[in-house]
Amino acid sequence: MICKDQEEMDMIALLQQCLQYLHKTSSFTTILLSLLLLLSLQYLLKLTRGPKLNFPPSPPKLPLIGNLHQLDKPLHRTFQALSNKYGSLVLLHIGSTPTLVVSSADIAAQIMKSNDVIFGQRTQTKAANTLFYGCSDIGFSPYGGYWRQAKKICVMELLSTKRVQEFHYVREQEIAEMVEKIRSSCLDGAVVDLSEIFVTISNNIVSMSSLGQKYDREDGKENFGVIAKRAIGLLGAFCFEDSFPYLGFMDVLTGFCGTLRKTYKELNTLLDQVIEEHQKKSENDQSEKKDLVDILLHLQRDGKLDINLTRDNIKAILMDMFVGGTDGTATAIEWAMAEIVKNPIVMKKAQEEVRRVVGKKLKVDESNVKEMSYLQCIIKESLRLHAPVLEPRTTSVGTKLEGYDIPPRTTVVINAWAIQRDSKLWEKPEEFLPERFTNNPVDFTGKHNQFIPFGMGRRSCPGVLFAMAEAENVLANLLYWFDWRLPSGLTMEDLDMADVCGLVIQKKLPLLLVPVLHSI
């Protein structure tokens, strides 16, 4: 064997010594340690081969696990701390996966818009491949012809402005039920769990809009919403196989594989049931209230699509609706309501606006909500301070970024949470100041690099209109019908605003408040 330098020769000699020692011993512990050493040396040997590349700054790493030991929770805060120390681009190694953390608005725009073909692939995890039928949905499918057609279906047919408006009756019905439930709690001054209420109403709105009904189970088993929430948890959970392929057996031992199979089987059964029920309906059904399954089946029968829309494709797209439309939307509403309550001056100003616009009407019309400019500012500021998700992508090929070499198949995490708290971009970035958006053209539609709660470019979230319609109307009703107090004995300083990071960045503790019915 011809070696490039003495360092490589020394490594090979050490490998040979380890192999000789491994043959002589019978101790299980010694064998295991020797095997780990061999893998470590092989990894180091690999680094010495090939041309020297200019990688982004990286914190010191350990063999095999890389920087995994440095990733404390919550991840978005850890990533921010690493970026403060090493710069806007930080290259981490999580097992066998290189991971690039991006905390610069300008670089994020390069990735999501200028170079979106190279950086346009979504990271396909074991859970995503299983739950989204081989990633044949919109969120995780590879960038290419199928994705373009599926995205077009979503934007033009499922989540267009017209379609979102058509689902107003669903929002009105579910919000009315929510208000009635909270009103009944006012009679005895009970504490209500708004976090749970927001998840329930988000799930119900998505269920009614997508499937046509809520699909509660009468056999005592979990309903669709509960199973979908478990699926969302799996998407944000740690999977050994994703980062350490040779440790995939650990996912069996931890129960991850079993839970994933069980969840997929239950979801698949329920979605098949939904599709079969819709197929039994007359194709000449002229009802104006079409849900998303009706629309997808019509497109499938129509035969005018450039892709063959299979049943699995339909189920994968429906799963997208639940993943994007439940936890993400519920969390956005929860953070906004928590900030409103924590800032009494903001709550007073918002309530005065909502009650002035609605007047003495018996309900809050959706048309009224568009006149509530301060409420819009509150939602924007909450999305700025509490970005819903980290933005993960995967490079399709090796490339250059800001002069650095980025390896192929690198996971790229855009830390929107850190970008939207950057003191170079925002004045008093850690404070909740809705007024900063008054007469401010900066919006979350992907046109402004410093404000990207829903991403930007071709891979931006297509469900923004759907989510905002729900958030605006839920908050408007809560502020119109009720005054809000903290539970007895608590002050504003006691309202815990700590967060946790899974698939979305959620409030760590549930939002528990006391509603007081407002006299109209």
For the chain, the C-alpha Rg in angstroms (whole number) is: 26
Classify residue 402 by its DSSP letter: T
Triad 505, 223, 203: Cα angle to 5° = 40
CB atoms within 10 A of CB 295: 15
User: Can you read off the two tokens belonging to residue 455?
Assistant: 């991403």
Other CB atoms closer than 10 Å to residue 448's CB: what's the count?
16
* Cβ atoms 325, 312 nearer than 8 A: no
Q: Copy the structure tokens of residue 264.
A: 């997929």
Report whether 62 contacts 69 (CB < 8 A). Answer: yes
Rounded Cα–Cα distance for residues 401 and 114 (Å): 11
8 Å CB contact between 394 and 412: yes
CA distance readout (Å), 268 to 225, 228, 265, 316, 512 = 13, 11, 5, 10, 35
Which residues have a Cβ under 8 Å from the Cβ of 513 and sit 6 or more positions away?
Answer: 191, 192, 194, 337, 341, 484, 485, 486, 487
The tokens for 67 are: 């920087």
Q: What are the angstrom distances between the C-alpha of 286 and each of 173, 197, 280, 343, 351?
A: 22, 34, 14, 49, 41
Instruction: Give the residue ranges of the annotated binding site.
Output: 461
Q: Which two tokens stand for residue 106?
A: 């300008």
CA 305, 308, 311, 313 torsion-angle sign: negative
Residues belonging to the binding site for heme are 461
What is the Cα–Cα distance from 331 to 321, expressed in whole angstroms?
Answer: 15
Q: What token pair was written down for 436?
A: 């900063």
Give the alpha-carbon dihedral of 467, 472, 473, 477, to 10 degrees.
140
Q: For the chain, percent helix, then strand, then coil, each to nearest 5? A: 55, 10, 35
